Amino acid sequence: MITYIVRRIMMAIPLLFGITILSFGIIQIAPGDPTALMIDPMIRDKDLVAYKELYGLNDPIYVQYLKWVGNMIQGNFGDSLIRQGVAVNELIMARLPNTLLLMLVSTILAIFISIPIGIISATKQNSLADYTFTFFSFLGIATPNFWIGLVLIMFLSVHLGWFPTGGVATLNEPFSIWDRIHHLILPSIVLATADVAGLTRYIRSSMLDVLKQDFIRTARAKGFKQKKVVYKHALRNGLIPVITIFGLMLPSFIGGSVVVEKIFGWPGIGMLFFDAAFQRDYPVIMAITVIASALVVIGNLLADILYAIFDPRIEY
């Protein structure tokens, strides 16, 4: 087991390096000089050379790359180009809690909605309930996330006034838990929808596979009640493949947060990234891209390790 985990971690390291190379490479092919954004166009040539020297822009590309990676490993992502003097770390740390909160809540939401639906669809295969859920999950997969957000804001916030139209809390009001929850509901529902649609399909087919197996028939033959068979015997095994799917869905989930944060004016990493992209604030763009991809790699690593823990049939 330990050797498996160590081997799996060793496999993730070259992947992380590949990610840093690609992130760095993409910015290198960008037309135009990064200094153009931050320097007074009237600058004298002599000062420009000194300036480039200061920021290491005269070094060969591989030296620039190694310096960047070296700093990053020490947790230093450099300074923002647009907001001069502000460290990228500071910008990210200020927004991170908001994004983590949104992701955590919508993940929990997605799991608690999709597991029961998946179980009902599988145990009552081809029933009216199964068809209804199937229909809605196909619909959920084909509907753009941002549009669901727009429609919900239009009906639930603007017309019915049930929810705020955006933000994390009401402005100029003292902190209250209820206010925070109130602001959190719509964005987490929207972020969860895409996942719920995909997850229910996987849980349904995984449960169907398990329910057909011999040990389930044995359990039934022993006279266990349907509830016990489904929840105690089948569910445990049926959820194992879902761990991997969850890992695979991580990239689109993290990407989805950019759109959701933008629509709901949710001041998180996604919005920071979006603004940085528009202003071509390269250090911020690169930092967030690397962090997001690293999260995906770590998420998949955890998924694989959890899979190995939950499924003793896996050979290490």
* Alpha-carbon span 144 to 141, nearest angstrom: 8
**Pick from 230, 263, 272, 308: which binds other proteins (CB under 8 A)?**
263
DSSP state of 212: T
List binders of other proteins among 21-60 (CB under 8 A). 22, 26-27, 29-31
Q: Which of 241, 250, 257 is nearest to 201 (CA)?
A: 241
* Alpha-carbon span 44 to 145, nearest angstrom: 49
**Pick from 56, 97, 116, 144: which binds other proteins (CB under 8 A)?**
144
Min dist CB 155 to other proteins, Å, is 9
Q: What are phi and psi of 126, to 5 degrees?
A: 65, 15
* Alpha-carbon span 290 to 89, nearest angstrom: 13
DSSP 96-119: HHHHHHHHHHHHHHHHHHHHHHHH
272 is an interface residue for other proteins by CB under 8 A: no
Q: How many angstroms from the chain centroid is the CA of residue 45? A: 45
Instruction: Give me the torsion for CA of 273, 152, 163, 110, rounded to 10°.
Output: -70
> Could you give the string, one character per residue 225-254, with x where binding to other proteins holds by CB under 8 A and - elsewhere?
-------------------------xxx-x
200 is an interface residue for other proteins by CB under 8 A: no
> Could you give the string, one character per residue 293-312, with x where binding to other proteins holds by CB under 8 A and - elsewhere?
x--xx--x------------
Min dist CB 154 to other proteins, Å, is 5
For binding to other proteins (CB under 8 A), which residues are involved?
Answer: 14-15, 18-19, 22, 26-27, 29-31, 138-139, 141-147, 150-151, 153-154, 158-159, 250-252, 254-256, 258-259, 262-263, 273-274, 277-278, 280, 285, 288-289, 292-293, 296-297, 300
